[in-house]
Amino acid sequence: MKRGLIAVVLLVVLAGLGYFAFSRNAAPDVSYRTLDGRVLTQASLRDKVVLVNFWATSCPGCVKEMPEMKKMYQTLAPQGLEIVAVAMSYDPPAYVKTYAEKNALPFPVALDADGSVARAFGDVQLTPTTFLIGRDGKVLKRYVGVMDFAEVEHLIAQNL
């Protein structure tokens, strides 16, 4: 009886550990077409910590985040951080290009012209929505709304 109870408890503990070890979802295998015509793939970003930020030029929270993202990128990119700012399909490409140039965004800015990237990430509708992806290609955290940059930087530092 005792052995059976111990075996059940051990099995439950191992199942719980397995669940937590494997419960993070892999980031979708998408391609990002950048403003300068390059194509980045999620696979090509493996071995980097990647922040994928869905945004729009008409979104006040998105515009508020950009200077912080720019600072974070300039500080952490040499250590392995990549940021991809994905403009929503409804955002006019000319507005996105003007904003990126005017604000000298140092990270890749992609256009999601047909909405396929937003759909692949779980049908993103609200902006800003941001995904932090680990070096292993799995989503570490999803943020809806303006990010808590202290928390984000802490998570990035833990995973670089």
CATH number at residue 152: 3.40.30.10
Distance between CA 111 and CA 31 in Å, rounded?
Answer: 11
Cis amide leading into 128 (omega within 30): yes
* Residue 17 pLDDT grade (very low, low, confident, very high; cuts 50, 70, 90): very low
* 76 neighbors 44 (Cβ within 8 angstroms): no
Please report whether residue 95 resides in a domain: yes
Bridge partners, 142 (sequence order): 131
Q: Is residue 8 part of a domain?
A: no
List the domain range (segments joined by +) for residue 67: 27-158
Mean pLDDT of 114-140: 97
Structural domain count of the chain: 1
Per-residue pLDDT band for 1 (boundaries 50, 70, 90) equals low
In a domain, 113, yes or no: yes
The answer to the question of residue 132 being in a domain is yes
Look at residue 18 and tell me if it is in a domain. Answer: no
Q: What pTM was computed for the model?
A: 0.83
Strand order in the sheet with 139-144: 109-111, 81-87, 49-55, 129-133, 139-144
**In the predicted structure, residue 87 carries a pLDDT above the cut 50:** yes
In a domain, 12, yes or no: no
